[in-house]
Chain A
Amino acid sequence: MGKIKSISSIFGLFAFASLLFVAPVKAQQQIQILHRPIGAENLPHPGNPISLLATLTGTGSVNLDVRALVVSDGRFVEVPFKKSFLDEYDRPVYQFDFVAPLTDMSYRFILKTSGDKIISSPRYEIRRKCVPKISLASFAAPKNPTEEERIKKLVREATFLEKDIRNYEAAVKLIEELQTIIIPNKKTEK
């Protein structure tokens, strides 16, 4: 009987020790940055908005210094995250809003931890197979169009203009954001 008691107390002690050590180990778990890249075929029209989502594992914090280092059409830009939230598995997700490139973009996410350590995601690359048309003038129209060709031209024009409107309206919002928050325009500060 005494032997059984001592075995169960050893097990109890072991269980207690496990609880004591498992929690800190979990807290020190390596943070990883997960991301599902967009395929080139899913890239929206150049200039239209795109959202890049970076999911972190090994942490529950939504207030970390996560950034996206983007090279869009060959030019570098550092994008701070727009918002962060928890997904259905309670993992923090950081959302980066930028605009679709004309031809290509490559990017990686970096996380600066408290100890000045940098955690980086792999480098992702998206390349279009061809250059989309970015002006109405680039749609060639036949000289003496048939009724079918006229209709086709109208459909193409309407579709293109819809994307163009999105860009001009985004430009208005961007200037307003620059004006009110970042670089105030003295004339508008009344």
Chain B
Amino acid sequence: MKTVLGLLLFLTFLFAPLRLAAEPYSIEVNIPVDREPQVAIGLLMNEKTTIQKPNAKIVHTRSGMTTAVFTVDSSEITPLSSASAMVIYDDGSFAFGDIRKLSPGKPVFMRANLPDCPAPEVKVDATLYGQRALLEQLVKIRRERIAFAKRKIAELLANGYDRKLLKAEVSFGLLRKPVISPEDNSVELVDRLSRLLAATKTYKERRAISTK
């Protein structure tokens, strides 16, 4: 009995590192796409080799990005490893994703796996019961303010200015998507515009320095 237990203990210690080595390691890579890709391939780049991981999962995140999600064995990761991905469209053209530095033993931050935040807690007291009409009015006013801001955005984007902004986004290598519209989600709208403004300002500053 003692010998059997000893043998089991020995085998456990013997195979434990192997089990750890085979642990799957999930990687998420952002890919700027302009249409729905057909397939995605994960790429694990080590010092001298690049390992292809076919059939990577294509995930559309809530931040408006398309990502390729794939797994590699943790044993394949070295201190100099990095990961990327490529997508192939149905017409045979392709696009590459960002390059992410990997650290052995340190998991990659997975945006696609983050849970949704719960709805904010609201305490309803007696005074709130009496203010329902006021609350409805407040929501109505706020909706009208949004509608007004959207109309203003539509005016500003009229006469082909939306296409002009898209052209600028493409030339700066920013996300390629349909033209900016007032009907876009407000978070996406402000994110795209701030990136474009930052890129344009940086470009203008650099150009001013180089022409000095």
Which residue of chain B has the shortest Cβ distance to A168 in the bound complex?
Answer: B149
- Total interface residues in chain B, CB < 8 Å: 60
Is the beta-carbon distance between A77 and B205 smaller than 8 angstroms? Answer: no
In the assembled complex, B73 has its CB within 8 A of some CB on chain A: no
In the assembled complex, B88 has its CB within 8 A of some CB on chain A: no
Stretch touching chain A among B11-19, B49-57, B191-199: B191-199
Q: How far in angstroms is the closest Cβ of chain A from B100? A: 9
A75-B195, A162-B142, A172-B153 known; A167-B200 Cβ under 8 A: no
Give the chain A neighbours of B30 by CB distance below 8 A: 74-75
Residues of B125-171 contacting chain A, CB below 8 A: 128-129, 132, 135-136, 138-139, 142-143, 145-146, 149-150, 152-153, 156-159, 161, 164-165, 168
Residues of A92-144 contacting chain B, CB below 8 A: 98-99, 101-104, 127-135, 138-140
**CA gap between A129 and B200 in the complex, in Å:** 32
- Total interface residues in chain A, CB < 8 Å: 61
Give the chain B neighbours of A77 by CB distance below 8 A: 194-195, 198-199
A131-B114, A134-B62, A151-B129 known; A174-B197 Cβ under 8 A: yes
In the assembled complex, B211 has its CB within 8 A of some CB on chain A: no
**CA gap between A157 and B118 in the complex, in Å:** 14
Is the beta-carbon distance between B146 and A47 smaller than 8 angstroms? Answer: no
Q: How far in angstroms is the closest Cβ of chain B from A41? A: 12
Which residue of chain B has the shortest Cβ distance to A149 in the bound complex?
Answer: B124
Is the beta-carbon distance between B191 and A47 smaller than 8 angstroms? Answer: yes
Which residue of chain B has the shortest Cβ distance to A164 in the bound complex?
Answer: B186
Is the beta-carbon distance between A74 and B65 smaller than 8 angstroms? Answer: yes
Is the beta-carbon distance between B117 and A175 smaller than 8 angstroms? Answer: no
In the assembled complex, B5 has its CB within 8 A of some CB on chain A: no
**CA gap between A164 and B135 in the complex, in Å:** 17
Q: How far in angstroms is the closest Cβ of chain B from A155? A: 5
Is the beta-carbon distance between A159 and B191 smaller than 8 angstroms? Answer: no
Q: How far in angstroms is the closest Cβ of chain B from A106? A: 9
Which residue of chain B has the shortest Cβ distance to A128 in the bound complex?
Answer: B114
Is the beta-carbon distance between B149 and A165 smaller than 8 angstroms? Answer: yes
In the assembled complex, A60 has its CB within 8 A of some CB on chain B: no
**CA gap between A13 and B65 in the complex, in Å:** 68
Is the beta-carbon distance between B128 and A78 smaller than 8 angstroms? Answer: no
B75-119 interface bits toward A, Cβ cutoff 8 Å, 1 = contact, 0 = none = 000000000000000000000001000000000010100111111
Give the chain B neighbours of A103 by CB distance below 8 A: 61-63, 111, 114
Q: How far in angstroms is the closest Cβ of chain B from A43? A: 12
**CA gap between A55 and B152 in the complex, in Å:** 37
Is the beta-carbon distance between B156 and A155 smaller than 8 angstroms? Answer: no
Give the chain A neighbours of B143 by CB distance below 8 A: 161
Q: How far in angstroms is the closest Cβ of chain B from A5? A: 57
Give the chain B neighbours of A127 by CB distance below 8 A: 109
**CA gap between A73 and B194 in the complex, in Å:** 13
Stretch touching chain B among A14-22, A28-36, A179-187: A179-187
Give the chain A neighbours of B128 by CB distance below 8 A: 151, 155
**CA gap between A159 and B119 in the complex, in Å:** 11
Is the beta-carbon distance between B149 and A169 smaller than 8 angstroms? Answer: yes
User: What are 11 A-B residue pairs whose CB atoms fall within 8 Å in the complex?
Assistant: A74-B111, A80-B201, A102-B62, A102-B63, A127-B109, A151-B135, A154-B136, A155-B122, A172-B149, A177-B197, A178-B193
**B residues adjacent to A (C-beta < 8 A):** 30, 61-63, 65, 67, 98, 109, 111, 114-120, 122, 124, 128-129, 132, 135-136, 138-139, 142-143, 145-146, 149-150, 152-153, 156-159, 161, 164-165, 168, 175, 185-187, 189-191, 193-202, 204-205
